[in-house]
Structure 1
Amino acid sequence: MDFEAVIESLPRYGEPLLVTVGVTAASAALALVLAFALGLMTASRRLAVRAPARVFVEFFRGSSVVVQLFWFAYAMPVVLGVQFDHLIAAGVIALGLNYGAYCSEVVRGAIAAVPQGQLEASVALNLTPLQRMRLVVLPQAWPEMIPSLCAFAIMLLKASALVSVIGILDITWLAGLIGKQPGQDRLLHYAVVLVIYFVLAWLIWTGMRALERRAKRGLGVDARPAKGRLAPAVAAGGAR
């Protein structure tokens, strides 16, 4: 295996790495906005609001993201006359809609998990529905969403490699492209990509864990396990 050839090729990963990070970040932003919109709609008691959102969610969850990528990149310009100036926009929209549909269930479930007593108290305080959602429900639901949203964010990072099937040059495509050249080893280049994805996933996990701790501190809950002492329930049970 020629490690020197691989090391010399590392600078070529710079621009494709920006593509991977950009696609992941843009898709995650779109998915988050869509998740909250669809999650609130599917949690609504009004059938006229809930039904369209449920149809949208089930359609995008029930169809292949690869097919969705091809649809936005190649079918829409022919069928609907909608042409994207850059294929990367089609990739971002397809991934964002797909993962937004999945994450909407996280939002809906977290909202449903807020204790009923909290809602009754907010009604007793004469808060409007918007104030109840903004001041009571979402602050309590948000910390519960973060672990699941973190998992979906990492899945989205790995799914960003699928944009290569519609001709976007990301790190996965570049690894295969360089690996086929004389003097290069495809296995080593895919190992480099493996490490890159691991580092990016670790950064996402670290950031989301910090966000979760901050959100729970805002509610007076310590997200860190106690160090140097047993948990209260265990200590009480062992002190008999």
Structure 2
Amino acid sequence: MSPQLFAYLLEGLLTTLQLTVGAAVLGLVFSFAAGIATCSPNIVVRGVGRCYIELFRGISALVLLFWFVFALPYAGWQLEPMWAGILALALNIGAYGAEVVRGGIVAVPVAQIEAAVALNFTRSQRMRLVVLPQAIARMLPPFGNLLIELLKGTSVAYIVLIPDLTFAGQIVRNATGDSASVFTALLILYAVLAVIFTTIVRLVERRVAKSLGRQPTPGFFARIKGVKA
């Protein structure tokens, strides 16, 4: 592979990272907004949160991406393909993340909330100081899974000519004619990215567990060693 083609592949890798990180950050905003909304005592707020979840869980991210790129301009709005990709992926993954947020919140023991009520905490204080810190510790493992799904989902972006890793791989394959090597390299690169993201999430899990005064869950090999001992 020539240096020029290799550089093009690296540019695609950077674009994939931009798509993943951008959609993950925006998706987190949607997740927490909708997830907290579904736990609201206000029926209208709950309804809005539930409508968002059901709507965007049921829409294909690829179809949503097509709509932003090809249909939205007819309404007078033109999004750059990169921003359309980030928004489509964030709306889709945010709907799944909202259920993770809701599940983490309802899993907090009722006794903790009752104790906060006894201390005369306001509703926002209970959510911010008592519920969310404990809920986030429960959310992190499924959020890690969603992050990997998001990474893999960015590969649909090449269809609207976003020069991501898959798009770059197609260009390199067309230039070299070597499908086996190029797509094997893509497999390896996506796998390496997934391992990196998984490691980051696990480090955050350990940090959050320590901040709550909990013992971090040991890894598989550490547990096996403990059993043998």
1:81 matches 2:81: no
| Shift in alpha-carbon separation, 1:9–1:167, aligned structure 2, 3 A | closer
1:19 matches 2:12: no
Match of 2:54 among 42, 55, 58: 58
- Name structure 1 gaps, 5 residues minimum: 236-240
* Counterpart residue identity of residue 105, structure 1: E
1:108 matches 2:97: no
Instruction: Give 1:6 deviation, angstroms.
Output: 7.0
Match of 1:28 among 20, 24, 31: 24
- For residues 66 and 226 of structure 2, what CA distance do their matches in structure 1 show? 55
Contact 2:137–2:205 (8 Å) recurs in 1: yes
Instruction: Give 1:220 deviation, angstroms.
Output: 1.4
Contact 1:42–1:54 (8 Å) recurs in 2: yes
1:206 matches 2:199: yes
Moved more, 216-225 or 158-167: 216-225
- Superposition pairs of residues 39-58 of structure 1, within 5 angstroms: 39-58=35-54
- Note the alpha carbon deviations across 1:7-29, whole angstroms, 9 max, x for none: 87322212111110001000000
Equivalent position SS for 1:114:
coil
CA RMSD of aligned residues (A): 1.7
- Superposition pairs of residues 187-202 of structure 1, within 5 angstroms: 187-202=180-195
Equivalent position SS for 2:78:
coil
Structure having the higher Rg: 1
Contact 2:9–2:172 (8 Å) recurs in 1: no
Match of 2:111 among 103, 106, 117: 117
Match of 2:125 among 128, 131, 154: 131
- Superposition pairs of residues 167-206 of structure 1, within 5 angstroms: 167-181=161-175, 183-206=176-199
Instruction: Give 1:230 deviation, angstroms.
Output: 4.6
- TM-score of the aligned structures, taking structure 1 as reference length: 0.89
- TM-score of the aligned structures, taking structure 2 as reference length: 0.93
Contact 1:6–1:185 (8 Å) recurs in 2: no
Equivalent position SS for 1:127:
coil
Moved more, 219-228 or 31-40: 219-228
Contact 2:151–2:194 (8 Å) recurs in 1: yes
- For residues 61 and 142 of structure 1, what CA distance do their matches in structure 2 show? 22
- For residues 167 and 213 of structure 1, what CA distance do their matches in structure 2 show? 39
- Name structure 2 gaps, 5 residues minimum: none
Q: How many residues align?
A: 225
The answer for the alignment partner of 1:164 in structure 2 is: 158
* Counterpart residue identity of residue 99, structure 2: E
Equivalent position SS for 1:180:
helix
- Note the alpha carbon deviations across 1:189-240, whole angstroms, 9 max, x for none: 1111111111111010000000001111111111232665459xxx9xxxxx
- Note the alpha carbon deviations across 1:22-63, whole angstroms, 9 max, x for none: 010000000001100000001112111000111111010011
Over the matched positions of the two proteins, sequence identity in percent amounts to 41
